[in-house]
Structure 1
């Protein structure tokens, strides 16, 4: 089974990849597949976006419409992390945005590290160092790293401003730290790496139409992923969790509304989920078993 390194760069806009010096991100793009139009139909805020990313249902159904609540309060959402725990897979989360504590019910994450961003210079680098050391020691099945520096700079100085682009480059350096840590211990072929954003940082949400105009990048690189490929059509946030579940050989929850993006995968790697894991499907449907809390 492939392990997964999930990197979330808050406020990362597609245009930043053309304007900033992002050597590590471009290397991932060359070795993997990039979606240029990942879209979130809901409030352009981190927690609503993350809730949709990991539960594969839209905000009007999971009910997370601001940064003051999360999936812990939702009666309808089953997150990817719940499925991981159900299948006895380990997951870790490293973050500096305090609101992320509302995202996951207690017990779904084996290791959760919060770094208070106040007074810390280049906190994204420090988080990456901590996450890299953790991966080397524990080798979790999924490690999620949430970087906030880009969003802070965009909010204070404007998106695509010089300070904003500097923090995008710092996030790129943080990715370089992680990939180097993986290489040092021979894990670079064990982990598939995903990079995206929980939201684009531009306040373009129209509550009447429940749409926002921000397109985000979504990059995946790994041994089963097509190389140097670009997907131009619009892809929804609800398709992220099913795609990640397929990478992890986990059957998606029947409540999920999205579908895996097949164009990510090389020909011959569109494998079927194992028969043993498919057998859990009817148990989920009958609501006799739920992921452990």
Structure 2
């Protein structure tokens, strides 16, 4: 159960968000126009889970600290050198991930929630998912700065908490997601928006990055935090199995920062942001090292491609075609082993 204080906090923040004006980014793109063309892909995936980590890189898997994530890497496609954005900070990077635009286009170059700046004007992947195929999204953020991106729409549901609240942890986020699934399948929907399970589930898990910054990147606390994040990933994947969704789901994993950098700083701690980018599941090549250049900005278009949708818009996000199985290869691929 969510505590009363959490409910009051959520209600207050929700009220503030409704009052926000969409004033960000004078040069940002306008909302997508009606009549966006759609195209159905051969991909059979109906659901996408997008895990967004922090302080995570290839070395984070050493020592067996993240068995669930290691399995996704082994059974999917991966690059450890996807480019991030500049400035390499949490809020600008997450804004680029969900809008498919570089910082200079979406206009969010600060790193904290500021009520007066409003929501970004640029359409997000959540908007495109709805316009192109009527797909809904559920988003679970774990940092107060990301309130800036939680623009209310009838096809999105948000839950937000942050480091300032002690109860906000990966375990708590998993509990919120489980509660969300129960309510979403109750026939009455969840809150004000989605009346069924979401096609896109976004899960922000910054715990490891925070531990690395606070205690050091070789510390026991950092390794323990990696295990906690991996346990949360496994719990979400197990939830999809419980609802018999695994054979219709594709998983995307990326990060707002690599190991050794602090996306929550006042100023960037790196001028050359590089992050991992992993895709695994239905319709995705197994054991594939991605050779083409990949940017975290490409996440949105790739999610659209996974779900068989096409936008025909002017955003900078491009689907990473190299990761997808051909129809013949997909039909010949052995079924995934059940855990």
Q: Does structure 2 retain, via aligned residues, the 8 Å contact 1:129–1:178? A: no
Q: Does structure 1 retain, via aligned residues, the 8 Å contact 2:254–2:277? A: yes
Q: Which has the larger radius of gyration?
A: 2
Q: List runs of 5+ in structure 2 lacking aligned partners.
A: 1-44, 186-195, 264-269, 331-339
Note closer, same or farther for the CA distance 1:121–1:164 as it changes in structure 2 (3 Å cut): farther
Q: Does structure 1 retain, via aligned residues, the 8 Å contact 2:97–2:297? A: yes
Instruction: State the partner residue of 1:78.
Output: 123
* 2:232 matches 1:150: no
* 2:160 matches 1:101: no
| Pairwise CA distance, 1:27 | 0.9
Instruction: State the partner residue of 2:230.
Output: 172
1:116-162 deviation per Cα after TM superposition (whole angstroms, max 9, x unaligned):
44463681122123213434634211111111211221221123432
Q: Does structure 2 retain, via aligned residues, the 8 Å contact 1:40–1:212? A: no
Q: How does 1:256-275 map to 2 (within 5 A)?
A: 256-268=315-327
1:62-101 deviation per Cα after TM superposition (whole angstroms, max 9, x unaligned):
11112236995444x2210111232422111112201111
- Aligned match for 2:297, one of 238, 247, 250: 238
Instruction: State the partner residue of 2:158.
Output: 112
Q: Does structure 1 retain, via aligned residues, the 8 Å contact 2:292–2:322? A: no
Name the CA distance, whole Å, in 2 between partners of 1:182 and 1:9: 19
Q: Does structure 1 retain, via aligned residues, the 8 Å contact 2:181–2:197? A: yes
Of stretches 82-91 and 43-52 in structure 1, the one that deviates more from structure 2 is 82-91
Q: List runs of 5+ in structure 1 lacking aligned partners.
A: 205-210, 272-293
Note closer, same or farther for the CA distance 1:269–1:68 as it changes in structure 2 (3 Å cut): farther
| Pairwise CA distance, 1:250 | 2.2
Q: Does structure 2 retain, via aligned residues, the 8 Å contact 1:56–1:242? A: yes
Note closer, same or farther for the CA distance 1:53–1:160 as it changes in structure 2 (3 Å cut): farther
Name the CA distance, whole Å, in 2 between partners of 1:19 and 1:10: 19
Of stretches 245-254 and 101-110 in structure 1, the one that deviates more from structure 2 is 101-110
Of stretches 56-65 and 113-122 in structure 1, the one that deviates more from structure 2 is 113-122
Secondary structure in structure 2 of the residue aligned to 1:50: helix
Note closer, same or farther for the CA distance 1:157–1:11 as it changes in structure 2 (3 Å cut): same
- Aligned match for 2:69, one of 19, 25, 45: 25
| Pairwise CA distance, 1:230 | 1.6
| Pairwise CA distance, 1:186 | 1.2
* 2:170 matches 1:124: yes
TM-score, normalised by the number of residues in structure 2: 0.70
TM-score, normalised by the number of residues in structure 1: 0.81
Secondary structure in structure 2 of the residue aligned to 1:8: strand
Note closer, same or farther for the CA distance 1:270–1:248 as it changes in structure 2 (3 Å cut): farther
Instruction: State the partner residue of 1:7.
Output: 51
Instruction: State the partner residue of 1:35.
Output: 79
| Pairwise CA distance, 1:38 | 1.1
Note closer, same or farther for the CA distance 1:50–1:228 as it changes in structure 2 (3 Å cut): same
| Pairwise CA distance, 1:104 | 3.6
- Aligned match for 2:90, one of 40, 46, 57: 46
Note closer, same or farther for the CA distance 1:255–1:233 as it changes in structure 2 (3 Å cut): closer
Name the CA distance, whole Å, in 1 between partners of 2:154 and 2:143: 18
Q: Does structure 2 retain, via aligned residues, the 8 Å contact 1:33–1:220? A: yes
Name the CA distance, whole Å, in 1 between partners of 2:181 and 2:106: 31
Q: Does structure 1 retain, via aligned residues, the 8 Å contact 2:304–2:310? A: yes
